[in-house]
A and B are shown apart, each in its own frame.
Chain A
Amino acid sequence: MNSKRTLHLLAFLALAGTALTAPAKADTTLLNVSYDPTRELYQEVNQAFAKEWKAKTGETLKINQSHGGSGAQARSVIDGLEADVVTLGLSYDIDAIAEKTGLIGADWANRLPYEATPYTSTVVFLVRKGNPKHLKDWPDLVQPGIEVITSNPKTSAGGRWSYVAAWGYALHHYDNDEAKAKAYLTGLFKNVPVLDSGARGSTTTFVQRGIGDVLLAWENEGILAVEQLGKNQFEVVIPSISVLAEPPIAVVDKVVDKRGTRAVSEAYLKFLYSPQGQEIAAHNHYRPRDPETAKRHAKEFPEVKLFTVQSLGGWHALHKAHFQDGGIFDQISGVAKN
């Protein structure tokens, strides 16, 4: 207890120290407002990019990062948090910033390759070592007695991708019969005991508090949990079919123009597409876009049958049907009538 407290104190002092000294050294600072599970990814990206920028321009760059549920982060930006770039979990959230504030041009998705999504991921199952409940694929999750951990699809990007993955599976499986797909989701959410508001919260619930039999997770988050938190405690199970998750990035136009950071912000986002940026993404368990990098890491990312959100009608249609008040998610959780 005591040594722990000392450690905390030291950590706090170290943090306070960097906070005090850092701004004096940096010529330019950037703020990257991101979603929940990208902490590790952007730590590495920021370091590499700052080094490259220094070599190219001589300018010392400090990139601050902020993390939280994708919806909450977008709302902070809408409410006035001065982000130079946003790297969120869901294009819907960047659209929301663009529509509500005009801080980002409406054509943001067309400014960078792959509709401004430099890496992809998918939704996988994280289960306990040895997979004691034999959870192999989507139908296993609705068995009675199975506890499924996921985050709130209304607020969390990870939760929303997981929900859409389950929905897409059900539509494929039941030949686009929406009533049957709805019944599947109802069964699935009947097995959910806790609904955290962000993906990292769900991971903590599953991994550290030991709640639940399976976590619906971002692939990167699942692999990270296995790697960092206990190789002999968890396993990643890849379902037969899942969703192609495409987390988008954008420069916040009005902020960078005001702060005079457009050039460096745009270079920062382009860096994510560079061979080095792609390598860092792959290294952090995001599926790279670049075919060469993908080939090198093919072993780590098993091939899965992936469907896109566009094939389900796109985010706006999905949002309207599922996540608005009284929508399908409210119906399956029993708080709205069919």
Chain B
Amino acid sequence: MLATKSSVIPGFGPTLGYTLFYLGLIVLIPLAALFFRAAGMGWEQFVQAAFAPRVLAAYRLSFGGAFIAAAINVVAGLLVAWVLVRYEFPGRKLFDAMVDLPFALPTAVAGIALTAIYAPNGVIGQLLRPLGIKVAFTPIGVVIAMVFIGMPFVVRTVQPVLQDLELEHEEVAASLGANRLQVFCLVILPNLLPALVTGFALAFARALGEYGSVIFIAGNMPGISEIAPLLIVTKLEQYDYAGATAIAVVMLVAAFLMLLVINTLQKWRQSRFTAN
């Protein structure tokens, strides 16, 4: 059906072949190897390794932390994108470039820097200490590291959509008597929602898999501040390959399902939106 449509790049067959080959080589083969390893364990052994109390605590922290971090990033990222698109101010280009820094910075550097700042004797940690708030070496620290590395995803997905949004729509709404809140909720937000959802999904996925920056600030206490990726590495270092694989498979399946749900929701919403 698609193939009959003429396209700028000719040759549906070769390009599809290439795509499948490429995806297979880069994505599918390593993942298949993972499942293959896991399949070598008995079902009971798998359940025991993948759903032990310590592992469950790590999933809770990893998935919960990634969810909270992505939610924070959606709000904060939208704000940043809004300011960068809608206002002219000196140094805007500079701030715009800074948004990408968490992309480029080696994650270990980010982790060490965050830890230094939020540790009880760090610049910010010192201020929080009298208030009884501990950030570094607690789950809060984990969320902060995840917010840091996920932020660009939201800004960069929302920014172009915001740029293309025509100001006239807002002016029309205003001239028809909508107040500012109504304009934002009923005109701007529906247009941005797909981009926000995509940004959320990307930030969530990134935070879920993040290892380098989180382990420095996490504290890594079993059951409290130990993320699932660290547990995988720990298992490997205990020569427990099967256990590590089991956790990896659970994370992979869970992440895939969540991303699938998010994408489906978005498709469903879009079709409803356009139908209206």
Task: List residues of chain A with CB under 8 Å of any chain B CB.
Answer: 69, 71-72, 74-75, 78, 96, 100, 152, 154-155, 192-197, 209-211, 323, 325-326, 330, 333-337
Contact A333 B223 (CB under 8 A): yes
Complex Cα gap A37–B116 (Å) = 23
Contact A71 B237 (CB under 8 A): yes
Known: A195-B221, A211-B120. A72 touches B237 (CB 8 A): yes
Give a binary string over B90-133; 1 marks a CB under 8 Å from any A CB, 0 the rest: 00000000000000000000000001100111000000000000
Task: Name the distance in Å between B86's Cβ and chain A's nearest Cβ.
Answer: 34
Contact A209 B121 (CB under 8 A): yes
Complex Cα gap A335–B221 (Å) = 10
Known: A193-B219, A209-B119, A330-B222. A155 touches B137 (CB 8 A): no
Chain A interface, DSSP helix/strand/loop, else mixed? loop
Contact A154 B234 (CB under 8 A): yes
Complex Cα gap A326–B119 (Å) = 31
A-B contact pairs, 26 of them (CB 8 A): A69-B237, A71-B238, A75-B236, A78-B239, A96-B239, A152-B234, A154-B234, A154-B237, A155-B238, A193-B137, A193-B219, A193-B221, A194-B220, A195-B219, A197-B230, A197-B233, A209-B121, A210-B121, A211-B119, A211-B121, A323-B238, A325-B240, A325-B243, A330-B54, A335-B222, A335-B223
A-B contacts besides A96-B239, A209-B116, A210-B119, 10 pairs, CB < 8 Å: A71-B237, A72-B237, A78-B239, A154-B237, A155-B238, A323-B238, A325-B52, A325-B240, A325-B243, A335-B223
Q: Which residue of B lies closest to A93 (CB)?
A: B239
Known: A333-B221, A335-B223. A100 touches B54 (CB 8 A): no
Complex Cα gap A325–B49 (Å) = 9
Complex Cα gap A333–B54 (Å) = 9
Q: Which of B53, B219, B221, B236: most chain A CB closer than 10 A?
A: B221
A71 contacts which chain B residues (CB < 8 A)? 237-239
Q: Is B57 an interface residue (CB 8 A)?
A: yes
Complex Cα gap A194–B230 (Å) = 14
In this complex, how many residues of chain B approach chain A with their Cβ under 8 Å: the count is: 26
A210 contacts which chain B residues (CB < 8 A)? 119, 121
B54 contacts which chain A residues (CB < 8 A)? 325, 330, 333, 335-336
Choice from A192, A197, A334 contacting B237 with Cβ under 8 Å: A197
Task: Name the distance in Å between B121's Cβ and chain A's nearest Cβ.
Answer: 5
Complex Cα gap A323–B234 (Å) = 12
Task: Name the distance in Å between B60's Cβ and chain A's nearest Cβ.
Answer: 12
Contact B222 A333 (CB under 8 A): yes
Contact A195 B220 (CB under 8 A): yes
Q: Which of A69, A155, A194, A330: most chain B CB closer than 10 A?
A: A194
Task: Name the distance in Å between A126's Cβ and chain B's nearest Cβ.
Answer: 17
Contact B53 A197 (CB under 8 A): no
B220 contacts which chain A residues (CB < 8 A)? 152, 194-197
- What are the 7 tightest A-B residue pairs by CB atom distance, in nearest-first order? A335-B54, A71-B237, A335-B223, A155-B237, A333-B222, A195-B220, A210-B121
Give a binary string over B68-101; 1 marks a CB under 8 Å from any A CB, 0 the rest: 0000000000000000000000000000000000
Task: Name the distance in Å between A319's Cβ and chain B's nearest Cβ.
Answer: 9
Task: Name the distance in Å between B120's Cβ and chain A's nearest Cβ.
Answer: 7
Contact A336 B121 (CB under 8 A): no
Q: Which residue of A lies closest to B138 (CB)?
A: A193
Complex Cα gap A209–B233 (Å) = 24
Task: Name the distance in Å between A75's Cβ and chain B's nearest Cβ.
Answer: 6
